[in-house]
Amino acid sequence: MPGTPPTRFVYLGPEGTFAEQALRTIPAAERGSRTPARSVGEALENVRAGEADSALVPLENSIGGAVGVTLDELAEGEPLVITREVILPVEFVLGARPGTEPDAIGTVAAHPQASTQCRNWLRANLPDAVVVDVLSNGAAAAGAATGEYDAAICAPIGATRHRLAVLADKIADHPDAVTRFALVSRPGPPPPPTGDDVTSLAVYIAHDRVGALLSVLMELAVRGVNLTRIESRPTGEALGRYVFFLDCTGHVADVRLGEALQGLRRVCAAVHFLGSYPRHRWLETGGERPVPPPPGLSDADYTDASAWLARLRTGELS
């Protein structure tokens, strides 16, 4: 039912991965049920089918960029909307069975992205160890726990879940790396505006029109709507046909963003609304207000201008 808090959550599994760690930062998910899915597509289909209320899936990484499969899944199939974002620091640890000495480590299990992000640390600290690719950070931790591998590069939650001793922490080459996750639900009224929100869109431009992408950007720029992210993905129709994924500042309830959406509807081949939701920073700071918009671009300015035009149309020239 619309407005009913979610209680059944699904996430990109397996257990003991960053996705589970991110999901457990959401109070409702900590209280509700959490089920791992084998893929992003499976997680989202569980929501579409009503088998789960919400799914947490990775959206982008500060090192690896956008997660293409998530964007593709959101653009296709029955509509889904983002209701929350979670930004999680990517802090890898080296875990092993208790009593393991670093000098005895001959094999290290790691997801390819994890070993890539810890390449320099491995070279400096375990130069002779063989890195074995596995399907996930959770699988790496499980393999180390059973003795299949001497150690694992995994998320802290994976080491805890499989009772591994942490031989080294924060071993990533980029200590400030983060992954952004999206909590996705079936369509319904968006969370109320906070004053520091993000609106996500999938925009299909008219490919036979000169300056089509520029016209999209202008609809946002002239209303002072900041574009914080733009990603292109092929539609699969033909070479050169793309869908553009946009993150904008503001909420669908805001006057200026609402006008921008109407403008996009007029100039684009199609616009898919993917949700308006609080920015992670707003949630972290407990509601700290963002920097106000420039003069002339606040909702109050738009309301005043609209009222002025209405008076002109009735013959009032004040």
Average confidence score pLDDT of the chain: 87
Res 1: pLDDT: 41
Tens digit of pLDDT per residue, the chain (318 long)? 445 778 899 998 888 888 998 999 999 998 999 999 988 999 999 999 999 999 999 998 887 788 888 999 998 889 999 999 999 888 899 999 999 998 899 999 998 888 988 999 999 999 999 999 998 888 899 999 999 999 999 999 899 989 999 999 999 988 888 889 999 999 999 989 988 899 999 999 876 666 778 888 888 988 888 888 998 888 777 676 788 999 999 999 998 899 999 999 988 888 999 999 998 875 555 555 555 666 777 777 878 888 888 888 888 886
At 9 the three-state DSSP class reads strand
In this structure, the number of other CB atoms found within 10 A of the CB of residue 10 comes to: 26
Detail the DSSP E strand segments found in 30-187: 33-37, 54-61, 65-66, 81-89, 93-96, 107-110, 130-133, 151-154, 165-169, 178-185
Report pLDDT digits (tens) over 38-71. Answer: 889 999 999 999 999 999 999 988 877 888 889 9
Tokens of 235: 């539609």
Q: What pLDDT shows up at residue 240?
A: 66
Rounded CA gap, 39 and 226, in Å? 32
pLDDT at 246: 94
Domain annotation for the chain: domains and CATH numbers? 1-89+177-188 (3.40.190.10), 93-168 (3.40.190.10), 190-317 (3.30.70.260)
Residue 301 and residue 299: Cα distance in Å, rounded?
5
Is the Cα torsion angle 227, 228, 233, 239 positive or negative in sign? positive
For the entire predicted model, the pTM comes to: 0.79
How many Å apart are CA 253 and CA 200, to the nearest integer? Answer: 13
